[in-house]
Structure 1
Amino acid sequence: MTSTDASSQILKELANLRLAAAGLNRVSPSSLNSCLLKLAELTEANMGRILQANALDLARMDPENPKYDRLLLNEDRLWAIAADLRRVAALPSPLGVVHEANTLANGLELSRVSVPIGVVGIVFESRPNVTFDVFALNLKAGNASVLKGSRDARDSNQAIKLIIDEALASTGLPPACYLAPAEREALVPILKADGLVDVIIPRGSQGLIDFVRANSSVPVIETGAGICHVYVDADANLEWAKAIITNAKSRRVSVCNALDCLLVHRDHLGVLHDLIYELGQDHNCVVYADPEAFAVTIGLYPGELLEATEESFGTEFLSMKMSVKCVDDISEAIAHVERYGSRHSETIVSNNTENIQRYLKEVDAAVVYANASTAFTDGGQFELGAEIGISTQKLHARGPMGLAALTSYKWLVRGEGQVR
């Protein structure tokens, strides 16, 4: 098949999906929930088939690759996915919510009501669990899904798509999910599908996000890339700091809310080795330290310690690596975050109320913490039920995107013959 033929086929599939999205608009929320419950049941019943497909994907990837953990499915993860599907089904519907209502002086009755976005495209790398997550959230919000996974997860995604189709068909819903070909060439026709796709949400590396933003004529919501910092202030509780640093870095290194850079006030240089000791001893974390931090930790840090370069900062490692920089005060810490951060998640560890308030106000990120780990940046942890991704932009949605972020709204106006 030529590239022109392949693009034509993709556009045909998107046109059909557009019709399916219109069909979803005529379906009750209870029918959407029934499909999600059926999908949970089918996931549990087809674990063997899904894991066989996932094994084919894993066999093509080096186990040392940081993406390996993202690609991995196992029975525990599939049981958790099924539980999440049931949890999404149990959430209140985000549709038909009246956000505001008013009666004008001329008698017109206005209401602003939540509605589906329509057709939502998700572009993602490696993580086959995303296939379940985004389809479920989109369906709950009344949207049809365009899923563009990577070649890494090709077999897993195809197996998952088969049971999604079965769940839709068995509950009488239209075919509201399209899995695009895994080849990279299939992405551009989707990005250019004005009128067929309403929004694109890339989830993955900064390179993927940059490519989507640069090449899409469909509106884009940026999610994913997280260059996260922990700043340990002069007045920090050092026990809190140590626990937060360890958790933010080691809980799960391949996710976007993991710690990438530790900023430590110069007053704590004497105990820096203790703050990061557990990362070296228990997690083999590689640390790239600036000259001052390197000088006071060499010989004391049990892991690999290297001298930082310019590239050590502003890097999303997605692995057990971290940079460390010494700063004079909160102003220098905020300036560093402004220069090297990705507007994702940032935290300050401090007992100084004034500095906490300043950090919370001045740091430009989707989520800013005081005395807590960046690992909490997650839709489930925010009790949103689940998330489609973590938006680092400022229009439409910011931070963990729950169901409400997958809806738009329209104004409904009721009159009695009024004319202007």
Structure 2
Amino acid sequence: MVASQIESLSLIEIAQQTRAAALKLGGLSTDERNSALEAVAKALTLATPEIIAANQADLQTAESEHLAPALYSRLKLGESKLQAAIAGVRDVAKLPNPIGVSQIHRELDEGLILKRVTCPLGVLGIIFEARPEALIQITSLAIKSGNGVILKGGKEAINSCQILTRVITQALASTKVDPAAVQLLTTREEIKQLLELDQYIDLIIPRGSNSFVRYVQDNTRIPVLGHADGICHLYLDKGADLAKSIKITVDAKTHYPAACNAIETLLVHKDIAEEFLPQIAQALQAEGVELRGDEATRAIINAKATREHDWQTEYSDLILAIKIVDTVETAIAHINHYGSKHTDAIVTEDQQTADIFQNQVDAAGVYHNCSTRFADGFRYGFGAEVGISTQQMPPRGPVGLEGLVTYKYKLTGNGHIAATYTGINAKAYTHRDY
């Protein structure tokens, strides 16, 4: 349901509609939900010119308002990015059904059978800045997992979000999915109201700047899934291969510097610094990267001096802080102190050192000899992602369908009562798994 259709409704009424539609959605068959996703993919494909035009209007406004470069990059929805998002919708449809999966099937006693079965969370509240393709990804995952979704995009992406939501809900109208399962909010004032709807919304997923995510986390009783910072590290160990080091460093910093999985700090072992750093610096500077370094780094290459805040900053830009370290343990200590528990990587040919690094770095993703840019639900084969979580409790890392379902216990008996299993003559449970 797009903004023009819900202006006369209060936010509570919208949430009630979404919850009612979500209950029906969760009861649909896998084929019915997959058919709805295919209808959405076809509709988005047909509306591609209209979607691109709406995004161009947002970009023009962003330019006139001097939107930050990182946010502008996330806002831009070119045809290739849109087609990738549409492909993601179809990939989600191909994934196994996450609802109704039996996780436990256990006989407590003869005729008393316990099952633990997956079910939808209910209603998701998604608040995001820029990133119009996130609307497509999250909506497709919500439909597949049987959840309703209330979307709140940033004002910088209002035209993109409105056309995407209209196309999606119109496509759903021809399927078994009630279009009211997908709602779009358009005003900033609605964010605070949305965060107060703990009676109707089961999970909030914010995607945006550090300050924005922290605001959401601090102003709601609803569980929040997400991350505030993306301070990712790459450590080049003394056992690193030079060619791999250059290739991985350049990719992890420059492939998409505005992404939360781009590296912000490069740590280099002292034994290879004099040989590696000049060549890596040359490759990075050729891509327009501004280098900042500690005193030891600046004794080898030309770089601006780092300050304490550089180790704590997510630049989301072509800026990289560099530090020379004595040991892998020093690198790990630096990462665990300054990192955001997002994604960190090591380059080394020494498997024992790699194992130490991967076991001791506290992050959702810990990589060996590859770029941090692989931290992504689509690249993990999740079809898409609703976001990346850096919390300790699961789900952690890129979150796909498995993070959008919970479970319930179903117990079936035949007149069984608890008193039978208590007291002196208590009957024993069989606890036999099927």
TM value normalised by structure 2: 0.90
> 2:128 is aligned with what amino acid?
F
Identity %: 36
Q: Highest CA radius of gyration, 1 or 2?
A: 2
Please give the secondary structure, in 2, of the residue aligned with 1:53. helix
Alignment match of 1:395 (pick from 393, 396, 399) = 393
Partner of 1:109: 113
Q: Match of 1:3? A: none
Correspondent of 1:276 among 264, 275, 281: 281
Deviation at 1:151, TM superposition (A): 0.8
Shift of 1:249: 0.8
SS across alignment from 1:170: coil
Contact 1:227–1:344 under 8 Å retained in 2: yes
2:409 corresponds in structure 1 to 411
Q: For the Cα contact (< 8 Å) 2:85–2:136, is it kept in 1?
A: yes
**Deviation per CA, 1:303-329, whole angstroms, max 9, x where unpaired?**
xx3111112112111111110011111
- The answer as to 2:182 corresponding to 1:177 is yes
1:158, 1:226 → 2: CA distance?
Answer: 28
CA drift of 1:93 comes to 1.1
CA contact (8 A) 2:211 2:228 kept: no
Q: 1:153-181 deviations in whole A, cap 9, x for unaligned?
A: 01100111101110111113212011112
Instruction: Using structure 1 for the length normalisation, give the TM-score.
Output: 0.93
Give, as a single letter, the amino acid of the residue that structure 2 aligns with 1:61: A
Query: 1:64: how far off?
Result: 6.6
Quick check: 1:142 aligned with 2:146? yes
Counterpart amino acid of 2:13? K
What is the distance in 2 between the residues matched to 1:343 and 1:317? 16
Residue in structure 2 matched with residue 229 of structure 1 by the alignment = 233
Gaps of 5+ in 1: 1-5, 299-304
CA contact (8 A) 1:7 1:189 kept: no
Deviation at 1:79, TM superposition (A): 2.3
Amino acid corresponding to residue 306 of structure 2 in structure 1: A
Look up the match of 2:197: 193
**What is the SS of the residue equivalent to 1:22?**
helix
Instruction: Please name the residue that 1:307 is paired with.
Output: 305
For 2:343 and 2:232, locate their aligned partners in 1 and report how far apart those are by CA, in whole Å. Answer: 5
Greater RCO structure (CA 8 Å; 6+ sep): 2
Q: Any conservation in 1 of the 2:128–2:206 contact (CA below 8 Å)?
A: yes
The residue number in structure 1 matching 2:135 is 131
Please name the residue that 2:50 is paired with.
Answer: 49
Q: 3-state DSSP class of the match of 1:297?
A: coil
8 Å Cα contact 2:138/2:384 also seen in 1: no
Task: Give me the whole-angstrom Cα distance separating, in 1, the residues matched to 2:354 and 2:81.
Answer: 37
Q: Structure 1 residue aligned with 2:356, among 346, 358, 372?
A: 358
Q: Given the alignment of the two structures, is residue 24 of structure 1 paired with residue 25 of structure 2, yes or no?
A: yes
Q: Deviations over 1:117-142 (max 9, x none)?
A: 11011111101001101000011000
SS at match of 1:296: coil
Q: CA shift at 1:8, angstroms?
A: 7.7
Cα pair 1:7 1:186 within 8 Å, conserved? no
Structure 1 residue 219 displacement after superposition: 1.0
**Cα distance change, pair 7–280 in 1 and its aligned pair in 2 (3 A):** farther
Instruction: Output one character per residue of 1:96-153: Cα deviation in whole Å (capped at 9) or x when no partner.
Output: 1111211113542111111001101111110100110100001100000111111110
Per the TM alignment, residue 200 of structure 1 is displaced from its structure 2 partner at its CA by: 0.5
Q: Distance in 1 between matches of 2:395 and 2:86?
A: 27
* Amino acid of the structure 1 residue aligned with 2:189: E
C-alpha displacement of 1:30: 1.2
**Contact 1:246–1:276 (CA<8 Å) still a contact in 2?**
no
Alpha-carbon deviation of 1:363? 0.7
Deviating 4+ runs (over 6 angstroms): none
Contact 2:89 2:384 (C-alpha < 8 Å) held by counterparts: no
SS of aligned partner of 1:397: coil
Q: Give the CA deviation at 1:337.
A: 0.6
What secondary structure does 2:415 align onto? coil
Using the TM superposition, give the Cα deviation of residue 7 of structure 1 relative to its aligned residue in structure 2, in angstroms.
12
Tell me what 2:328 maps to.
Answer: 330
> How many pairs align?
407
Aligned to 1:302: none
State how far apart, in whole Å, the 2-side matches of 1:243 and 1:65 are.
Answer: 25
User: What amino acid is aligned across from residue 179 of structure 1 in structure 2?
Assistant: L
